[in-house]
Amino acid sequence: MIEGVSQEERPWPLAKVDILRSLSSEELERLAVLSAPVHLVRGETLTLDEVRCALLLLGSGRVRVHEPSATGPGLTISMVKDPTLVAQTGFAASTSRAVVIEALEPSVLLMLEDEDFEDLVRRNPEVGVKTIRVLGERLSACQERLSDLARKEVPSRLASLILCLSERQGILTGEGNRVIPTRYTHQQLAGMVGSNREAVTRALGRLKRAGGVKLMARHIYVTDVNVLTRIARSQR
């Protein structure tokens, strides 16, 4: 639901967003006045075709961006945790595909309309460059996952995903393993690999038996990168 915030609170969520960190305090103040905050409770959703904005930013919380499905969790496009870009609809042709933002915990989104985003980029080209970089990285990740969907079975797709999450988020433990700090449910992992919860549970069991991962307190630990890499490269 869209809510107002006090003038004192306005700039600070924006100051934390990675693509906006180079902006001056005056520019952040201007942006704070123009941006509309959206507060979502856990489980609440926002469909992008219901709102008119060019830029949707995450100020705090964690969200899942996905395409809806009547038969399952839907294909996850991205999972966004740190203050960054969630979605960008400006400068693109309209599409009939709905994209849903689901709050995985209480979250604050910040919306900026087309004209305001264009003005921001004209005054601060670095924001445009950073936006393109973030979108490019996500497009590359989506292309890899789509390729996996066409060529690989669930265990291989899941191994690829865990390796990717470990490289981007992983924290080295005292035992020399890497732990993925974000807790993912089997249902969330299923949405990310284009499968279902039951198949992901079986695939995780296979990765554990092979010695590639272990699960502790709902965290995934990568115990053998070579094992995961071998399974990720296989067609099964």
The pLDDT of residue 207 is 96
Average pLDDT (110-124) is 90
For residues 96 and 198, the model is more confident at 198
Burial 56-91 (b: 16+ CB within 10 A, else e): bbbbbbbbbbbeeeeeebbbbbbbbbebbbbbbbbe
Domains and CATH numbers, the chain: 11-148 (2.60.120.10), 152-233 (1.10.10.10)
Q: What is the pLDDT of residues 125-159, one digit of tens each?
A: 999 999 999 988 888 877 877 777 778 899 999 99
Q: Measuring CA to CA, which residue among 198, 179, 178 is closest to residue 189? A: 198
**1: pLDDT strictly greater than 90:** no
DSSP code for 20: G
For residues 85 and 9, the model is more confident at 85
Q: Is the pTM of this model over 0.85?
A: no
The 3 state secondary structure assigned to 54-120 is CEEEEEECCEEEECCCCCCCCCEEEEECCCCEEEECCCCCCCCCCCEEEECCCEEEEEECHHHHHHH
Measured in whole angstroms, the distance separating CA 104 from the mean position of its chain's CA atoms is: 11
Q: Percentages helix, strand, coil for the chain, rounded to the nearest 5?
A: 45, 20, 35
Whole-number Å distance between alpha carbons of 54 and 63: 18
For residue 103, give the amino acid letter.
A
Q: What is the pLDDT of residues 160-175, one digit of tens each?
A: 999 988 988 889 888 8
Collapsing DSSP to helix, strand or coil, 156 comes out as helix
CB 99 within 8 A of CB 65: yes
Whole-number Å distance between alpha carbons of 193 and 35: 33
